[in-house]
Structure 1
């Protein structure tokens, strides 16, 4: 992947004007399309397969008068008055008539109607005018909503002084979230952090520009997507929040790596390509983990949540795509203006050198940090676990529900209606239950409904049963049950459970199959279904975390540690949300409109998003530790220190930016998004600054060398994910290897100390291994690989053909490094299996030569028997050599030297594990170029020593024997 990203980055740098123009064109086209086809957002929630949804669907067919959304107008008479007074009754009846004349209104009930009587408070001061509409809340036109408001305003004017009339109900239970100036503050904070981190306004502006364009494209695509189905109004806000945060962070990683390379003197175009290949690989990994987790929200089986996850994943995907294409183009346009000023070493004494003051300060700070947390790692681990565990305790009382009008701001009319209803009638009147069933077999439907109403009144938790009636066809009945508790209370949930538990009793006694539905029951079912999906989703996320990190770090303990840290961050975020929304800590400061349950899908969304971000920080931080330990040969504890020092600055900046963007959506955000934003802000802060920058170094220091242990069988089984661009670094290091040949011909195949394991047979233990082998072949050369029946000849030739990964060493075929460019090598190497060619592979060899491939690999040449067949094959191979094709011929049990001219090199492969291969004839390539020295790391080491008071001379020598050994290494 890093090789492909290297090519992508180089192309974007070369075609920078085209890339920028293309993205602007995409923005314009998508914007025009979104504006034309936008259908509006839909907050209706459907949960297929639940009792409440099935009953609601049945009511829509058999009892449409009560299946649609409802509105309610609460009328409060003046102090000492009554709703039965003529000066109150007359305007109420007039308004009821006006409501009933509206096209989308089905029925209006007032306290003065004998058949559909509306409730009246115990003191006769208040009544609720019920307005039943035709369709769900988002099918009702804005014109009808406006007319309802106008009639209610007129009613308020017509009522006597001291009266109240407020419009609310399910129709107005939610309002669309909107952006405010507070969100812009998060962007400003991000800009300041970027300027401090990257050192210039131009460098800081590029990540912002990158993120804003990506967010613009994703939001406009979301508008266009409404033509294909309903999209919740929270979806674009979640996509905006995530797209902005990850877009800035991903760009920061690439720009900071670009500046490192520019500081080292790399040319701009090459630096852009390398930055895209290295940091871009980490961006792809981070983006994929977030996207997989977001798409995984569909495991809950709730359509609106699945759409929300897919839309948010698309926003993240676009942020990744923009970061890998537009950003390299912008970096190329900026050119040398992003090149940091050279570091000015300061003299500490004769012959002694230190880093620049700023770098030394940063080094001392982060080195002091990591040394402090790793000094007594067991104590650090215990403190972190206990502290985060204590923060997680409030999460035990975290309750989930769908928000209703009670969560709207207090100045909202629907919220005022909600509060007045609760004040005069009780909390339950804001969320009545609807119990329905088929009564077609009843001979006395009215009597049956009265009996069922009496049954409902006898249940604990029931405040009133104001309505119990069959429909006009007398085949379906409904019972309106008013709970004593609020719609989001545990009492109401218990009542729903009680009615459902008595299902068999009602069916046996009355012959009616009753179901509970309505807005409140739907919310309870959504919460329950999401709660059931939380554990499977957590298992998927945890399993994915372990697998992905094992692929990246080739370790067992590092993924386990990372996953445990992620879970600590999640439960701490849940605890913080519970403290604010359940216990009221900082509730006023954060403009929390009502204490109580939080939005039902908060936990699963938070887990999915935080998973990707946590893996991002883990990879960026620990990969530097792994690089210093594995590739630079440093001891485990020193690798933790230097790796932390190399990555901490960028991780800190990225976390501050992410936190700023998320927390900006909290103060003025709606109550649907507010707990999600707060949970993500706390989760990011805890994960980055506590888990990754405190717990991780302590655990790594405690584990030492054991941190990088992985069983050999698992290492072989896992695919490799080159997240830090090691592949492209390897290609760049081997770009000029093996160099020119004495005869001036170009090398086509070059291998150095190549080791390839043969197949593992049942009960055979460790597989046989070929190698180490070193050989180089030019155009027209041939290599014969042969051995007895137990030798893994096929494994070696398949590795050269790019069909099998090697277990050690280096191979280049047609200038491409294996296994990094295995896909391209496979397209340039023709593999001919003699056994699959019906004993006549000569034709296949000739066909391969005609196709123009530079290399032909012939496997199992021993199956070709008979003098004529072998002569024909030898002639085909000779023709290939004459055409300049390089040949690699494998043969088991039978020598294949008769197929090539005399003097061709022969590789004799021994049997068994670890048996050396013997090369007869041929040339071997020169030694591999050494890994480049990480000068920045050495400077950091020296700075660390200076900060500790250990003298370091210009050559890197020190008075400390240990440090001398490490610097020389």
Structure 2
């Protein structure tokens, strides 16, 4: 590989314009592809196959009316007083406008809905009064019937007694006509009484039916008594927009259309705010913070390299790589569904590693030029040595990112793939475009003083004294203690997805979230959809009875504020409820409620066991977070396993990979602790703009593992490979540690600061999704580079001494020799590694430079 890269570097140096034009063409083709084939970018974060998605699919098939996504439009009067008639009309007109949009199923006017609920409750009260009156009337009628019946019974006894007396006296024939007339009157009255009793019985039965229906309806209203669409003081109202598709599939263009119309609404004295379900869009990637990050990187490059031209080359290379990779990846967004954060990782990494990888090669090139190596020869050697290390280090990052696909989570796998492409392009730029630019710049890459001192290596100092053992022990103990302390908050880490409270305080989403929370309760921002599969078809009172029974079961659970029936499917086998929790969408109580509702299934009822399913945005967020949390340990094991194998091959050692991997785990846990403390606990919230602490972004830990692993291996390679090289050349193990650290520390320090600056620029993004990603990566690099790689690892290597390089002979024979630093190439070009040869050949180097590029004479 080193020889191939050497030849590539020489070719790029000789044919620099060809290489540069080739990259311009590549960027142009990527741009054309993007313009022709780009697709719509979604803000949704979904995972197929979750419990929520299964319930959503069932609703779409059996109960279309209850399926589809929805979002809230929050209205509030600026005066804090109740809405006027004109303001209510303005709200109704705006919602009616949304009703006409293609893709909108329906809208809910909060005022008419609240009036309807009030009328229903009034009807229940009126109905109960009517029933009570009817019961009184029936009781009076029954009393009259009972009195009449008693009188008839007495009359019947008299007739029967008179008949008996007449019969005994033998005078029956004389009174027969009179007795018959009396009996006919009694029979007629009894018939009238029976008819009255039948009417009363029928009325009683009807009244019982009405009472049952009224009580069932009243029970349902009681379950939903805490649901309001207009606040109690009348100053706020929540309208809703229902879509044909689920929330994650609604076209962003439709959501944006609603947002724009809401922003443009001119309802006098009314603020219109759109909830996060609608307003969440594609975040802006480039902002002031990112620009500052790049400026800091440029300053670091300028300080390290000493020339504006030198500082500009890595930045230019990073921009070229970024343009080619991002435009190329986005050209496929019309084929594959891209999430709004899919390219964020690619942009972060492409910019950071693009600068770093070019810097590694450029720094080696400058050192060789100062030794007196010819321009083209130096470019080739830098590409074959440092470029070889760049390829290998970049390959570890790519492997870690591609491994995100094993999580089985599509959007995360795609994010990893796009990030891997960005890193791969950054490598290609570093080993081709950067050598071409170094050829064009020529000797101007050095300062005037450096050019004047070419070939003079007498000032080079090599450490010949190891660190003290006491210092090494103290460093290891204190380093582990500090990192362990920082990692402690990670024990309470919770995962979730952003809601409206995570957005900027002046955003529509945040204002809508807070208004709903303050005026209607926190649960209004995270309603839960509960779906019940009945054992058989139910209609009429039977359906009402089952709805009430299930609603009461749901309401009995902890953290339930209200339960409202949505209705039943056309076949009467599926019933849906809207459940308002007491807590917000990201609260622990809401998470517990969703788990409790799922554990409640199946519910035993008089008609058999009913299966319950839970859906809704809050449920979907929890499912996504739990799926990602389950994937994290598997991914961590894979990445740690890969790190061990790769480092064993590179360093021909067992203990070095173990210390490197343990160091990576320490820096990772510390990064998790920092993230938890700031974004979940709210520590230092004023500095980082965390106004509402919340659970960490659910996919952030997985990304942290992949990216930090790759970058940690970068720094490990550039530092420890120098230690191994010094040890292989005969230096005592403990002195070799110091020499390797001395050689690699400046460039790794610069690279880490650049990486941190680029990542830190994203901390102050407007997007609540991007901010924690930027912080986690910046803090992770800080801890890993400056604490683990440059303090803990050298101290641990010192304490291990020769045993650090112990390696079984049988394993040494079967493993390939990757020659990361290009040592074989250096041996075949001794001028690069022999200071005396370089010194004596300085004049020849200048001649070669003139011969190869007359325009770039020293």
Relative to 1, partners in 2 of residues 1:335 and 1:421: Cα closer, same or farther, differing over 3 Å?
same
- For residues 200-349 of structure 1, what are the structure 2 equivalents within 5 Å? 200-339=307-446
For residues 245 and 647 of structure 2, the distance between their equivalents in structure 1, rounded to whole angstroms, comes to: 49
Q: Distance in 1 between matches of 2:797 and 2:599?
A: 53
1:10 and 2:120 are equivalent in the alignment: no
CA distance in 2 between partners of 1:412 and 1:242 (Å): 29
Mapped contact 1:297–1:537 kept (Cα < 8 A)? yes
Cα distance change, pair 411–77 in 1 and its aligned pair in 2 (3 A): closer
Paired residues of 1:442 and 1:448 also in contact (CA < 8 A): no
Task: Give the Å deviation of 1:15.
Answer: 2.1
Tell me what 1:388 maps to. 483
Describe the SS at the equivalent of 1:666. Answer: helix
CA deviation map 1:777-819 (0-9, x unaligned): xxxxxxxxxxxxxxxxxxxxxxxxxxxxxxxxxxxxxxxxxxx
Higher normalized helix content (fraction of residues): 2
Are the counterparts in 1 of residues 45 and 248 from structure 2 also a CA contact under 8 Å?
no
TM superposition shift of 1:138: 6.5
Superimposed CA distance per residue, residues 64-110 of structure 1 (whole angstroms, 9 cap, x where no aligned partner): 34432212122346878556x64554444444433323332212223
Q: CA–CA distance in 2 between the matches of 1:156 and 1:118? A: 25
Shift of 1:242: 0.7
Query: Which aligned pairs between 1:124-135 and structure 2 lie closer than 5 A?
Result: 124-135=234-245
CA distance 1:934–1:518, change in 2 (3 Å): farther
Residues 353-372 of structure 1: pairs in structure 2 closer than 5 A: 356=459
Give the direction of change, closer, same or farther, for the CA distance of 1:292–1:79 in structure 2 (3 Å limit): same
User: In the TM superposition, what is the alpha-carbon distance from 1:460 to its structure 2 partner?
Assistant: 0.7
Establish whether residue 512 from structure 1 lines up as the match of residue 610 from structure 2.
Answer: yes
**What per-residue deviation string (whole Å, max 9, x for no partner) do you get for residues 570-629 of structure 1?**
111111112211232332222224211121011110110010110010110011111111
Give the SS at the match of 2:685. Answer: coil
State the partner residue of 1:915: none
Shift of residue 354, structure 1, vs aligned partner: 9.7
Tell me the equivalent position of 1:464: 562
Q: Measure how far apart 1:526 and its partner are.
A: 0.9
CA contact (8 A) 2:756 2:779 kept: yes
Query: Which position in structure 1 is the counterpart of 2:675?
Result: 577
Q: TM-score, normalised by structure 2?
A: 0.79
SS at 1:230's partner residue?
A: coil
Q: The residue matched to 1:128 in structure 2 has which SS?
A: strand
The offset of 1:384, in angstroms, is 0.4
1:429 corresponding residue in structure 2:
524
Shift of 1:172: 1.7
Shift of 1:2: 1.4
- 1:117-165 C-alpha deviation (Å, 9 max, x unpaired): 963434454332121122245754566446535664686625xx5x544
Distance 1:150 1:185 in 2: 31
- For this pair of structures, how many residues does the alignment match? 723
Partner of 2:304: 197
- The residue aligned with 2:161 is none
* Matched residue SS, 2:107: strand
Pick from 754, 777, 781: which aligns with 1:684? Answer: 781
Q: Residues of 2 paired with 1:72 and 1:354: CA distance? A: 71
Determine which structure has more spread, i.e. the larger CA radius of gyration. 2
CA gap of 1:19–1:937, structure 2 versus 1, over 3 A, is closer
Instruction: Give unpaired runs (5+ residues) of structure 2.
Output: 121-226, 840-858
Q: Which residue number in structure 1 is paired with residue 212 of structure 2?
A: none
- Contact (CA 8 Å) 1:70, 1:169: kept in 2 or not? no
Q: Is 2:808 aligned against 1:673?
A: no
Higher mean alpha-carbon deviation, 501-510 vs 224-233, is at 501-510
How many angstroms does 1:329 deviate by?
1.4
Deviation at 1:191, TM superposition (A): 1.4
> What is the match of residue 407 of structure 1?
502
What 5-or-longer segments of structure 1 have no aligned partner? 347-352, 736-930, 939-969
Give the 3 Å change call, closer, same or farther, for CA 406–471 of structure 1 in structure 2. farther
Answer yes or no: is 1:121 the counterpart of 2:231: yes
Aligned to 1:838: none
**Secondary structure class of the residue paired with 1:585:** coil
Do the aligned residues in 2 keep the contact of 1:574 with 1:603 (CA within 8 Å)?
yes
What's 1:68 paired with? Answer: 68
What corresponds to 1:801 in structure 2? none
Per-residue deviation at 1:337?
A: 2.4
Give secondary structure in 2 for the equivalent of 1:488: coil
User: Relative to 1, partners in 2 of residues 1:529 and 1:288: Cα closer, same or farther, differing over 3 Å?
Assistant: same
Question: Equivalent residue for 1:178?
Answer: 285
Higher relative contact order (CA 8 A, sep 6+): 2
Change (3 A) 1:456 1:602: same
Structure 2: how far apart are the matches of 1:386 and 1:174? Answer: 42
Deviates most, 17-26 or 256-265: 256-265
2:546 is aligned, of 429, 443, 448, to 448
Distance 1:385 1:509 in 2: 62
Please name the residue that 2:19 is paired with.
Answer: 19
Structure whose residues are more often strand by fraction: 1
Asked if 1:702 corresponds to 2:805, the answer is no
What are the superposed Cα offsets for residues 471-530 of structure 1, whole Å, 9 maximum, x if unpaired?
Answer: 344343321111111111111111111011111335896543321111111110111111
Alignment check: 8 A CA contact 1:433 1:482 kept = yes
Give the whole-Å Cα distance in 1 for the aligned partners of 2:604 and 2:506.
44
Q: Secondary structure at the match of 1:132?
A: strand
SS of structure 1 residue aligned to 2:690: coil
Contact 1:581 1:595 in 2 (8 A): yes
2:51 matched residue in structure 1: 51
> Measured at CA, do residues 230 and 118 of structure 1 come closer, stay the same or move farther in structure 2, by a change above 3 Å?
farther
Give 1:78-157 correspondences, 5 Å limit.
82=82, 86=85, 89-111=88-110, 112-113=112-113, 114=116, 119-137=229-247, 140=250, 144-145=254-255, 148-149=258-259, 152=262, 157=267
Give the C-alpha shift of residue 708 in structure 1: 0.4
Question: 2:36 maps to what in 1?
Answer: 36
Do residues 379 (structure 1) and 477 (structure 2) align?
no
> Structure 1 length as normaliser, TM-score?
0.71
Q: Within 1, Cα distance between the matches of 2:833 and 2:347? A: 41
